[in-house]
Amino acid sequence: MEEKLRRSEGIMRRVEQMPEFADAHVVLMYWSMADEVQTHAFVDQWYNEKTVLLPCVQGDDLVLRQYTGPECIIAGEQFGIGEPTGPEYTDLERVELIIVPGVAFDRSGNRMGRGRGFYDRLLKSTPNAKKFGVAYDFQILDKIPVEPHDVKMDRVVSENENV
């Protein structure tokens, strides 16, 4: 776990050095699961300086809620992933940057999720946001299968790559 946290810190440090992150006021992040790039410390670091949104599973969709500190996190209904309490954030046009997890990415910016399409539906509803996938190096492949509904990333950031 210590190795995973160290590697995740390096990835997220690369993200925070990018102008798109520095300039963004409203950022959609995610509360990481065990097998994803770890984001808990990063979310905690930035929620006082930016409007940090986290996705919450609601039926077959993701709704957004603002993260206001560790005390606002509860276990989500479907997957037990931490989700913030509070009102739904609906001004999707104001979201400037989305940091997206994935099972795998390719060097063309394609993303493979967990197969339910949650993120693809959400990403289509945020027209003004840049989309940054974050991954460990081993999750970046030359080519992954792509479906017509899949949404490409603007950038994929890993420990040693920025594609």
Has residue 121 been placed in a domain?
A: yes
Residue 25: per-residue pLDDT: 97
pTM to 2 decimal places: 0.92
The kind and range of the H/E element at 132 are strand 130-134
Has residue 65 been placed in a domain?
A: yes
- Rounded Cα distance between 58 and 114, Å, is 16
The pLDDT-based confidence of 57 (bands split at 50, 70, 90) is confident
- Rounded Cα distance between 107 and 73, Å, is 34
| Secondary structure, 3-state, 12-26 | HHHHHCCHHHHHCCE
| Domain residue limits at 71 | 2-157
- Check whether 79 has a pLDDT greater than 70: no
Has residue 163 been placed in a domain?
A: no
Residue 75: per-residue pLDDT: 84
Q: What is the CATH number of the domain that holds 144?
A: 3.40.50.10420
Residue 153: per-residue pLDDT: 95
Domains in the chain: how many in total? 1
Has residue 74 been placed in a domain?
A: yes
Residue 74: per-residue pLDDT: 86
Has residue 162 been placed in a domain?
A: no
- Check whether 162 has a pLDDT greater than 70: yes
Has residue 38 been placed in a domain?
A: yes
Residue 115: per-residue pLDDT: 67
**What percent of the chain has pLDDT above 90?**
65
Residue 147: per-residue pLDDT: 85
- Check whether 109 has a pLDDT greater than 90: yes
- Check whether 95 has a pLDDT greater than 70: yes
